[in-house]
Amino acid sequence: MSLKVLIVDDSALMRRQLKQMLERAGDIVSEVARDGQDALVRLEAFDPDVITLDINMPVMDGLACLSHIMAESPRPVIMVSSLTEKGALATFEALELGAFDYVNKPGGTVSLNLRDVEQELQQKVRAAANQRQSMATKVQKRRLHDAKVTRQPRQSLRSRVGSRYKLVVVGVSTGGPSTLESILRELPAGFPVPIVVAQHMPAHFTKPFAERLDRQCALKVTEVRGPALLEPGHVYIARGDADARIVKRAGNIRMISIPASDTHLWHPSISRLVTSAREVYQDRELICVQLTGMGDDGAAEMASAHQHGALTIAESEASAVVFGMPRALIEQQGAGMVLESEKIAAQLVEWASR
């Protein structure tokens, strides 16, 4: 059976290109809408499995349209956004509203090289379609949970007791920004272990993403471009379109940004980050968390670390937007615990307090 996709974009050129890209997959049929208002009219009659939604449109923009969709007829929506800081901020707002994921227009608002993301778009449409049945339940559950979560107050770390664990490594991809935000918002400023994060994301997105998290969380959140000394109470976001390593220099442990490796498919690479952490710390000093995402980046490395003493968590299928990465960790016997995202922060606090 073919997947049905509604393409929403105010540019006739973009609509035509997106339609051609999707239908070249062979198992996708599509219709188009010229703005958010037009999309809502076509939604009921066409009943798409997935919607691709531009952000900047006249009459009704993408964020307003997304709000209506999630309130009235929840289904997976993939935002098609420009590679700018403004586009990134709007995309994060869309993810908070319930969008499944995003794809970037590599050439800007009207992209002439959209074919560069054809495979990515097709893959995300298929992944999104698989989530349609559980979409409404997951969106409602996340909203109820987030409504109960309050930002932990920032406070001094100096009086806090240290932990037997030295580092938390988090891997996350598709569906990850809102999941990561909900977890970090529950951690107190006195959290005694540094947290490093590899979130698959473009370079233009990681800086505004880190700034957004810093505003929302009690922990200090920064994007890592130059060497960053790892400190308790801090979260370090690996720079997009690059990789990151944990290194020990002159007796100090830092996170550094390095060029992306051609031998890894996803960036920032979770595999490279975990491997480097294991070179600096003993496995029994590490906590590894594998959140929502496609593929298996980091699963083998986290599983090996777990088998040698690291504590590990895989996000459960019940909450994961895409269960691929957590499933890979579980299948490789690497998940010490399998938890819904809503329970992960409390578990981290309990472990780190030891």
Catalytic machinery residues: 173, 200, 297
* Residue 78 token pair: 């993939």
**Nearest alpha carbon to residue 246 among 234, 236, 255:** 255
Which run of H or E residues covers position 21?
helix 12-23
Q: Which residues contact 266 (CB under 8 A, 6 or more apart)?
A: 173, 200, 295, 297
Neighbouring-strand partners of residue 5: 30, 50
- What distances in angstroms separate CA 305 from CA 6, 33, 205, 328, 330, one per listed residue? 43, 49, 30, 14, 13
Question: Which ranges constitute the DSSP H helices of the chain?
Answer: 12-23, 36-46, 62-72, 85-97, 118-129, 132-148, 176-184, 203-216, 270-280, 299-307, 324-331, 341-352
Bridge-based pairing state of the strands 243-249 and 220-224: unpaired
Instruction: Give the distance, in angstroms, between the CA of residue 166 and the centroid of all CA atoms in the same chain.
Output: 24
Write phi, then psi, for 323 (nearest 5 degrees).
Answer: -90, 5
Asked whether the beta carbons of 218 and 188 are under 8 A apart, the reply is: yes
Q: Could you tell me which residues are beta bridge partners of residue 3?
A: 28
Helix, strand or coil for residue 342?
helix
Query: If you ran DSSP here, which 8-state letter would residue 226 be given?
Result: S
* Number of neighbouring beta carbons within 10 Å of residue 270: 34
**By three-state DSSP, how is residue 249 classified?**
strand
Tokens (6 digits) for 47: 């009943």
| Per-residue DSSP letter, 49 | S
* HSE-up (13 A, CA, CB side) for residue 165: 22
| Token representation of residue 266 | 């996803």
